[in-house]
Amino acid sequence: MRLIQHHPDPVPEGRRLHRVDGSTGPLLLRHIDDARQLVVVLQLCIEKDVALLFG
């Protein structure tokens, strides 16, 4: 279950990460989407003054 809605990609086509062969594979796209979702969650935690513990 995905809790965060997908937003349009703000990165211009020419600036996206690509594999060596020039294509964007599904695993790479998944990692990019996961990183975007993590950023959203971290931003919400900062806005709500939630203590973040990394260890």
Tens-digit pLDDT profile for residues 17-49 = 656 666 678 888 899 899 999 999 999 999 999
- Alpha helices (H) in 11-55, listed in sequence order: 26-47
φ/ψ of residue 11, rounded to 5: -85, 125
CB 44 within 8 A of CB 34: no
Q: Which domain holds residue 46?
A: 1-55
Between the two ends of the chain, the Cα-to-Cα distance in Å is 26
**How many structural domains does the chain have?**
1
**1 pLDDT above the threshold of 50:** no
